[in-house]
Amino acid sequence: MMSLSPSKRANLRDVARAADVSVATVSRVLNTPEKVRKETRKRVEEQIRLLRFVPSAAARAFSTGRTRVVGALVPTLDNAVFARVLENLENGLARRGLALVVATTDDDPIVEAEKAQQLVNIGAEGMVVTGITHNKAFTKLLDRAELPVVAISYYDPSYHIPTIGYDNRESARLAMDHLCASGHRKIAVLHGPLHFSDRTRSRVDAIGAMKTDAELHFFHTDVSIEGGVRAVQQMLSAPVEFDACLCATDVIATGVLFELQRQNIKVPDDISLMGLDDLPISSFTNPTLTSVRAPVQQMGLQAADALADWIETGSRPQAICLPVTLQARQSTHQR
Amino acid sequence: MMSLSPSKRANLRDVARAADVSVATVSRVLNTPEKVRKETRKRVEEQIRLLRFVPSAAARAFSTGRTRVVGALVPTLDNAVFARVLENLENGLARRGLALVVATTDDDPIVEAEKAQQLVNIGAEGMVVTGITHNKAFTKLLDRAELPVVAISYYDPSYHIPTIGYDNRESARLAMDHLCASGHRKIAVLHGPLHFSDRTRSRVDAIGAMKTDAELHFFHTDVSIEGGVRAVQQMLSAPVEFDACLCATDVIATGVLFELQRQNIKVPDDISLMGLDDLPISSFTNPTLTSVRAPVQQMGLQAADALADWIETGSRPQAICLPVTLQARQSTHQR
DNA sequence: TTGAAAGCGCTAACAC
DNA sequence: GTGTTAGCGCTTTCAA
């Protein structure tokens, strides 16, 4: 049997006509099959197959007002910590029947605002953003669109968007406490760009604000293994002999470790090294890397649930602060 | 001035009414502002602001038939190689005004088929899938939906979906050639699950099919750093003294390197080590890790362009085979 | 259990 | 440059 308009995709009406039922019935077969008499249903399903009918998602979204899509704005996927967050966000959202659109911002608020606009344009029902540093255009957009939005990787209960994250300052403090308690007094702090990343800023600020008799020197580099490698040059050419190096992320710390080893500088004998975030790799380097664990898995899942609840019930979630925990390993030791 | 129906979001008609123009004019202000007289436009824009009007993405998608969303099915984000592919896919698609929905499959064809259905349900205009191993439900779905779909990370010009990737067999062969040419004769091959990943299968098959007088032993483990760590135990408890270890991915090789070092086994003096994929980390380990580069960045960008072209022009792309290149580094040497 | 019909909010063809 | 209007394909009352 041939279709009469061979080039066009079949729609509900075509199926209804072919099965000799109303469009309402076809719609029911699709959405609430149990409400349709078995014979009728069979007949409709048969025609659906024959006509290769695929319901139009756009029409459906239009009719129901739901796209089942939410967006996530993250700085990059090229850092394992965000990739892991996303993996868990996606899993959590999928369970709730929501699809995840990923947009990378490179930690640039302007790009972020643009991509956020795109997310609104495609009809995202909610959004996950990273941190609490956003520009005016972004804030305005959210305000207009009135979307459920949660901010992750940061905790600030007073922020106008619910934050579901952890205390970056606390994370840095735990690290410093660990280093100071084990007798380190000359500490190099290596971190990524401060300008756009509030995570980095919080960590570095917290370190600077601590009352300690340790001598602190701050070095700035890229957030990448290579960034860590390069930072070692800076650190070694400083007029100080450091007994510890604290990196604002494990990614940098990994690079530092590799470069120190390459230069035959022993960790932790010559210098203690620690990172923040606790990536999976940190458990396996030689020496294993002391770090402070950021609860990315929980964070991804809880953000997914909170956002899904918000979208479904309209009730705005409370901010959540997940605990960070020191993971003392071999790369630091008593001085 | 108060809205008369305070609880409902304004639509085009409301704005038109308020600005005393027709809906068409408002639509033009939104889509082709240059076609509207400046004064009129100002008036409309004013009302858009006042009424906090946000165009309905769903209605727009319905009307134009375009969602501007494409989906990507990848095994996981917890492997840097896929995270990098996605990063580049997203960048490439964003340039073309397309948003990327990410769905992870865990390399399970059943999950893949389900998530593909979800992608169709949300109205994806196209899809990127990983590899060419898919189940019946998946194939049927694509057949029905008639979506533009490209397969990445694999090259097979005869496959029914255009592949944009690289030759996994060639990649493995380059590695083996390198090892054999430098005199290695007892080679341990470490790889992830064969069942679902055609990339792994191709690599392992190609190695097995080579004419070589080297003695090959195959070991199976998880695709993770920890998997590499554990595989070392297996390898060492085999009744053979290996002079080389070839890992089907750098992720595993990284774990192997760490564990060998921990056990004080020297790479490459005691055993040569190499991986496949060439992750960024491989350039910085000690010793640096010999690998074969998979062109993930190019692949992501080219897949994005090919898919965007296909969606826009309807012309199906040709398969593309990107070159893989040996990156000889310190972890392998002449025997 | 099924059908008729009223939208949902926008775009675009056409008329003025 | 601007207005009128006919859809787009589905869901969802309300009646029968």
The pLDDT of residue B6 is above 60: no
- Find the helix or strand (DSSP H, E) in which A258 lies: helix A250-262
Determine whether the distance from the CB of B57 to the nearest atom of strand C is below 7 Å: no
Q: What residue spans in chain B does CATH classification 3.40.50.2300 cover?
A: 67-167+296-325, 169-293
Separation CA B166–CA B294 (nearest Å): 7
**Is A277 in CB contact (< 8 Å) with chain B?**
no
Q: B169-293: which CATH architecture?
A: 3-Layer(aba) Sandwich (3.40)
* Residue B9 pLDDT class (50, 70, 90 cuts): confident
Distance to chain A for B258, nearest Cα, Å? 6
Coil, strand or helix: which one is B37?
coil
pLDDT digits (tens, 9 = 90+) for A81-98: 999 999 999 999 999 999
pLDDT digits (tens, 9 = 90+) for A256-279: 999 999 999 999 999 999 999 999
- How long is the CA A35 to C1' C1 vector, in angstroms? 8
The pLDDT of residue B5 is above 50: no
Determine whether the distance from the CB of A29 to the nearest atom of strand C is below 7 Å: no
What contacts A225, CB < 8 A, 6 or more positions away?
A251, A252, A254, A255, A258, B280, B281, B284
Average pLDDT for chain B = 95
Q: Do A123 and B56 touch (CB under 8 A)?
A: yes
Residues 6-25 of B with CB under 7 A from strand C: 8-9, 11-13, 23-24
Shortest CA to C1' contact from B65: nucleotide: D8
- pTM, two decimal places: 0.93
**Is A292 in CB contact (< 8 Å) with chain B?**
no
**Is A115 in CB contact (< 8 Å) with chain B?**
yes
Determine whether the distance from the CB of B297 to the nearest atom of strand C is below 7 Å: no
For chain D, which bases have at least one atom within 7 A of a protein Cβ? 1-13
Average pLDDT for chain A = 95
Residue of A nearest to B280 (CA): A225
pLDDT of residue A4: 42
Separation CA B149–CA B119 (nearest Å): 12
DSSP state at residue B121: H
Determine whether the distance from the CB of A64 to the nearest atom of strand C is below 7 Å: no
Q: Which structure tokens are listed for B90?
A: 């997203």
- How long is the CA B69 to C1' C16 vector, in angstroms? 38
Distance to chain B for A209, nearest Cα, Å? 33
pLDDT of residue A60: 95
Separation CA A93–CA A255 (nearest Å): 33
Nearest to B62 among A62, A78, A255 (CB): A62
Percent of chain B with pLDDT over 70: 98
CATH of the structural domain B12-56, one choice from 1.10.760.10, 3.30.470.20, 1.10.260.40, 2.120.10.10: 1.10.260.40
Residue of B nearest to A258 (CA): B285
C-alpha distances (whole Å) from A79 to each of A109, A224, B71, B277, B317 are 18, 7, 22, 17, 31
Gap between the terminal Cα atoms of chain B: 85
**Is B288 in CB contact (< 8 Å) with chain A?**
no
Q: Which of A48, A102, A128 to probe the B interface (max B CBs under 10 A)?
A: A102
pLDDT of residue B334: 81
Range 11-40 of B in CB contact (< 8 A) with A: none
Distance to chain B for A293, nearest Cα, Å? 17
- Region B115-137: mean pLDDT is 96
Determine whether the distance from the CB of B35 to the nearest atom of strand C is below 7 Å: no
Coil, strand or helix: which one is A276?
coil
Residue of B nearest to A114 (CA): B94
**Is A127 in CB contact (< 8 Å) with chain B?**
no
* Residue B152 pLDDT class (50, 70, 90 cuts): very high
Residue of A nearest to B93 (CA): A103
- How long is the CA B173 to C1' C6 vector, in angstroms? 66
The pLDDT of residue A254 is above 90: yes
pLDDT of residue A7: 56
- Region A325-334: mean pLDDT is 95
The pLDDT of residue B104 is above 90: yes
Nearest to A80 among B52, B80, B120 (CB): B80
Determine whether the distance from the CB of B33 to the nearest atom of strand C is below 7 Å: no
Q: Do A262 and B58 touch (CB under 8 A)?
A: no
pLDDT digits (tens, 9 = 90+) for B216-238: 999 999 999 999 999 999 999 99
- Find the helix or strand (DSSP H, E) in which A253 lies: helix A250-262
Q: Which structure tokens are listed for B244?
A: 């080389």
The pLDDT of residue B77 is above 70: yes
Q: Do A80 and B76 touch (CB under 8 A)?
A: no
pLDDT digits (tens, 9 = 90+) for A110-131: 999 999 999 999 999 999 999 9
Q: Which of B101, B114, B144, B331 to probe the A interface (max A CBs under 10 A)?
A: B101
CATH of the structural domain B67-167+296-325, one choice from 3.10.129.10, 3.60.21.10, 3.30.470.20, 3.40.50.2300: 3.40.50.2300
Q: Which structure tokens are listed for B266?
A: 């020297």
Neighbours of B61 (CB within 10 A): 25
How many A×B Cβ pairs under 8 Å?
A: 161
pLDDT of residue B7: 55
Distance to chain B for A223, nearest Cα, Å? 13
Separation CA B171–CA B175 (nearest Å): 6
The pLDDT of residue A309 is above 80: yes
Helices assigned H by DSSP within chain B: 12-19, 23-31, 38-50, 57-64, 80-95, 109-121, 136-145, 168-181, 198-209, 225-237, 250-262, 296-313
**Is B329 in CB contact (< 8 Å) with chain A?**
no
Separation CA A115–CA A257 (nearest Å): 36
The pLDDT of residue B4 is above 80: no
For residue A145, which residues of chain B lie inside 8 Å, CB to CB?
Answer: 54
